Amino acid sequence: MMAAKTSANGKALLELRGLKVHYPIHGGIFLRRIGEVKAVDGVSAVVNEGETLGLVGESGCGKTTIGKAVLRLVHATEGEIRFTRESGERVDLVEMNRGEMRPVRAEIQMIYQDPYSSLNPRWSVGEIIAEPLMVHQPKLSVAERDEKVAWLLEKVGLTGEQSYRYPHEFSGGQRQRVGIARALSTGPRLVVADEPVSALDVSIQAQVINLMQDLQEEFGLTYLFIAHDLSVVEHISHRIAVMYLGNLVEVGSSNELYNHAMHPYTRALLSAVPLPDPDANRPDRIALTGEVPSPLAKPSGCAFRTRCPLAKSSCADEIPPLKEVGPGHLVACPVVS
């Protein structure tokens, strides 16, 4: 059903180093700062050129915040976001000001979760796709821009004539194709796809993922692909990073993670993935009980310990660092590694 995964060349395009994003919380009549949400709390990860890194975790664990930090839609509290530009220059996005960031933004684009609310309903699809072009390639003539819009629409499986239509005239899957065309308009190298198919019918999800894989191959794109669900990222990701309450708990190739997951949280997420044969025996199934704690009251040490079947008292002492347990396979759990 799915196209074969393309291969990545192993050169880092994006590298997060100790990234923290803490949101201040204000309260009381003077709206004083009364606390902070540690949405991202020391994340280090690499996304290689040409690959798809799947970023997975339950709601509220900080996935979108990482995407927003890369796009500089939120400020990093601490850490580095290193990006290799098309010219080969390595820059730290955290250090860049608005003016310096503008040309870099053409190289990094985002596909949003909800194709219903992310497209301006008053603009035609052609205007929606042309907008980033007007910002980043202002010298294009109107005719050149129209031509580029039609070309982009065809690349995502729509037609040039559809550029005069409005978002409400399209189905969910078609709207997400428009969102993808808009993201591609500036010729990006890195695309942050924030749950790009989770608002779509299951029957449409595979089509959009196949399209994204075809476009990756054609344009040599690199994806940071965010999802709740391991079953969605399995087909598209070369590697997967699993996140829990602001920290990564396990990173590895998709294959390694599906077959030899070690962290109890990853194992629990995998236990929730439906199997083709529901009667199949899953000997070491881990059920996830209880809610994710609020990041305002994040447990000390390993944040997963309050839901972990293997937790020991020492798990409260420090946030376990990622440790290499095999080639490219990292696990943050001293109990299993």
Tell me which residues touch ligand ATP (CB under 6 A).
Answer: 23, 37, 39, 57, 59-65, 228, 295
Comparing CA positions, the residue from 266, 251, 270 lying closest to residue 308 is 266
Place of tokens 């009251």: 297
Residue numbers 116-155 binding Mg ion by CB under 5 A: none
Q: What's the closest the beta carbon of residue 194 comes to Mg ion, in angstroms?
A: 6
Q: What's the closest the beta carbon of residue 37 comes to ligand ATP, in angstroms?
A: 4
Beta strands in the chain (DSSP E): 12-27, 32-48, 52-56, 78-84, 90-92, 108-111, 190-194, 222-227, 239-244, 247-253, 323-326, 329-331
x/- letters, 42..71, toward Mg ion (CB under 5 A): ----------------------x-------
Q: Does 109 bind Mg ion (CB under 5 A)?
A: no
**Cβ atoms of residues 65 and 59 within 8 Å:** no
Alpha-carbon distance 130 to 103, whole Å?
A: 17
Q: Which residue is nearest to Mg ion (CB)?
A: 64
Binding at 39: pick from Mg ion, ligand ATP, none (beta carbon under 5-8 Å per type): ligand ATP
- Tell me the two tokens of residue 76: 């990093």
Place of tokens 């219903």: 116
170 vs 265, which CB is nearer to ligand ATP? 265
Comparing CA positions, the residue from 130, 175, 167 lying closest to residue 148 is 130
Q: What's the closest the beta carbon of residue 90 comes to ligand ATP, in angstroms?
A: 26
Binding at 59: pick from ligand ATP, Mg ion, none (beta carbon under 5-8 Å per type): ligand ATP
Helix (H, G, I), strand (E, B) or coil at 71: coil
| Strand 90-92 to 78-84 pairing | antiparallel
Q: How many CB atoms lie within 10 A of CB 272?
A: 13
Rounded to 5°, angle at Cα 58 from 52 and 59: 105
214 vs 229, which CB is nearer to ligand ATP? 229
Q: What's the closest the beta carbon of residue 294 comes to ligand ATP, in angstroms?
A: 7
| Strand 222-227 to 190-194 pairing | parallel
Binding at 62: pick from ligand ATP, Mg ion, none (beta carbon under 5-8 Å per type): ligand ATP
Binding at 23: pick from Mg ion, ligand ATP, none (beta carbon under 5-8 Å per type): ligand ATP
64 vs 216, which CB is nearer to Mg ion? 64
Place of tokens 């029957």: 203
21 vs 211, which CB is nearer to ligand ATP? 21
Q: What's the closest the beta carbon of residue 227 comes to ligand ATP, in angstroms?
A: 9
Tell me the residue type at 176.
Answer: Q
25 vs 316, which CB is nearer to ligand ATP? 25
Q: What's the closest the beta carbon of residue 297 comes to ligand ATP, in angstroms?
A: 11
Residues linked to residue 25 through DSSP beta bridges, in sequence order = 35
Binding at 313: pick from ligand ATP, Mg ion, none (beta carbon under 5-8 Å per type): none
Residue numbers 67-106 binding Mg ion by CB under 5 A: none
Number of H helices, E strands in the chain: 9, 12
44 vs 210, which CB is nearer to ligand ATP? 44
125 vs 243, which CB is nearer to ligand ATP? 243
Alpha-carbon distance 305 to 290, whole Å?
A: 12
202 vs 297, which CB is nearer to ligand ATP? 297
Residues forming the site for Mg ion (CB under 5 A): 64
